[in-house]
Amino acid sequence: MLKTEKIWMDGKLVDWDEANVHILTHTLHYGLGVFEGIRCYETDKGPAVFRLEEHVKRLFKSSHIFLLKIPFSEEEISEAIKETINANGLRECYIRPLVYIGDGGMGLYVKDNPTRVSIAVWPWGSYLGDDGIKNGIKVKTSSFARGNVNSNMARAKVCGYYVTSQLAKKEAMSCGFDEALLLDSEGYVSEGSGENVFIVRNGIIKTTPLTSILEGITRESIMHIAKDEGIPVSEERFTRDEVYISDEAFFSGTAAEITPIISLDDREIGSGKPGEITKRVQNIFFDTVKGKNGRYSDWLTYC
Structure letter (DSSP) for residue 250: E
Q: What is the pairing mode between strands 6-9 and 115-122?
A: antiparallel
| CA dist., res. 248 & res. 173, Å (int) | 22
The size of the chain, in residues, is 303
Which residue out of 157, 170, 273, 290 is catalytically annotated? 157
Q: Kindly list the distances between the CA atom of residue 203 and the CA atoms of 94, 197, 232, 281, in Å, as whole numbers in the listed order.
A: 33, 16, 8, 13
- Is 134 part of the annotated catalytic residue set? no
Pick from 27, 62, 88, 196 the residue near ligand PPE by CB under 6 A: 196
Pick from 4, 84, 218, 301 the residue near ligand PPE by CB under 6 A: 218
Pick from 77, 120, 158, 217 the residue near ligand PPE by CB under 6 A: 217
Element spanning 86, H or E: helix 74-87
147 binds ligand PPE, rule: CB under 6 A: no
Pick from 97, 132, 136, 216 the residue near ligand PPE by CB under 6 A: 216
Q: Which window, 106-114, 209-217, 237-245, 285-293, contacts ligand PPE (CB under 6 A)?
A: 209-217
3-state helix vs strand vs coil in the chain, percent to 5 = 30, 30, 40
Closest contact distance (angstroms) between CB of 251 and ligand PPE is 9
CB 74: neighbour CB atoms within 10 A? 13
Q: How far is CA 233 from the centre of its chain?
A: 21
Residues 166-195 that bind ligand PPE (CB under 6 A): 191, 194-195
212 binds ligand PPE, rule: CB under 6 A: no
206 binds ligand PPE, rule: CB under 6 A: no
207 binds ligand PPE, rule: CB under 6 A: no
Binding footprint of ligand PPE on the chain (CB under 6 A) = 37, 191, 194-196, 214, 216-219, 252-256
Catalytic residues: 157
